[in-house]
């Protein structure tokens, strides 16, 4: 696949989701569900994890262009992300949740400033399930199924560790509840297993 073809499909896979996501942020401002558990209360706020949190888009885009050479794996990633994105938006409409923002960010540090900027851009609504967790685990699953992932266990394990760190970052930044992370991982596993045996991605991507 050429870089131009990949760029077109990467745009198709992610841009519509972000458009709907931020539109829903503005339209749905009332939270109907309290998902706070004792686990969330015990997790400390660690602003330094914001640097991990923001690796999500660069890692996904870089991996799409540099790692996935076969249409089968690229198609798996594309359609699983499109499906997961649609399901996430549906949940945000039918099951609106809100993570209360507390004023505990130290803006005297670079990490604290980035957390404040993140919260300005990305509101506290639409937490369930976590999109960060869903997309990071989908990418890790796809890398594990790819030829390079199968040949290099270090590469595969690196992506799984990265997905774990992304999941932790959503909790330590108080962006998501524990149930958001759990449901995001489950959603990723379900969607991945639905599409991993599809054989006609080459025709779909021609």
> Mean pLDDT of all residues in the chain?
85
Say how far apart CA 49 and CA 45 lie, in whole Å.
9
Strand, coil or helix: what is 35? Answer: coil
Crossing angle of the two packed helices 71-94 and 131-145, in degrees rounded to 10: 160
Instruction: Give how far Cα 17 sits from Cα of 89, 91, 92, 103, Å.
Output: 8, 13, 12, 29
The pLDDT assigned to 172 comes to 94
Per-residue model confidence as pLDDT tens digits over 96-109: 888 887 766 676 78
Q: What is the pTM of this model?
A: 0.88
Tell me the per-residue pLDDT of 2-53, one tens digit each, with 9 for 90 and over. Answer: 666 667 777 777 788 878 888 887 777 777 778 889 999 999 999 999 999 9
Q: Is the pLDDT of residue 77 over 60?
A: yes
Q: Is the dihedral of CA 22, 138, 56, 35 positive or negative?
A: positive
Composition of the chain by helix, strand, coil, percent to 5: 70, 0, 25
Predicted local confidence at residue 20, as pLDDT: 81
Tell me the percentage of the chain whose pLDDT exceeds 70. 90
Please state the three-class secondary structure of 135-194 as a single string. HHHHHHHHHHHCHHHHHCHHHHHHHHHHHHHHHHHHHHCCCCCHHHHHHHHHHHHHHHHH
For the chain, give every domain's residue range: 3-26+42-205
Nearest CA-CA partner of 188 in 128, 140, 122, 155: 140
pLDDT (mean) for 116-144: 89
């Amino acid at each position: 696949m050429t870089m131009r073809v990949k760029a077109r499909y990467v745009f198709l896979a992610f841009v519509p989701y972000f458009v709907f996501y931020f539109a829903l942020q503005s339209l749905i401002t009332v939270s109907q569900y309290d998902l706070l558990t004792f686990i969330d209360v015990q997790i400390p706020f660690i602003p330094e994890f914001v640097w991990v949190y923001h690796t999500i888009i660069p890692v996904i885009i870089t991996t799409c262009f540099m790692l996935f050479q076969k249409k089968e794996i690229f198609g798996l990633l594309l359609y699983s992300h499109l499906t997961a994105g649609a399901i996430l938006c549906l949940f945000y409409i039918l099951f609106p949740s809100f993570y209360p923002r507390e004023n505990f960010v130290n803006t005297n540090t670079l990490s604290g400033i980035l957390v404040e900027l993140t919260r300005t851009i990305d509101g506290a609504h639409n937490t369930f399930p976590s999109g960060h967790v869903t997309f990071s685990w989908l990418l890790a699953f796809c890398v594990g199924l790819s030829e390079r992932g199968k040949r290099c266990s270090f590469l595969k394990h690196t992506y799984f560790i990265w997905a774990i760190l992304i999941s932790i970052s959503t909790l330590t930044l108080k962006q998501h509840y524990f149930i958001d992370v759990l449901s995001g991982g489950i959603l990723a596993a379900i969607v991945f297993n639905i599409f991993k045996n599809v054989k006609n991605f080459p025709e779909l991507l021609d």
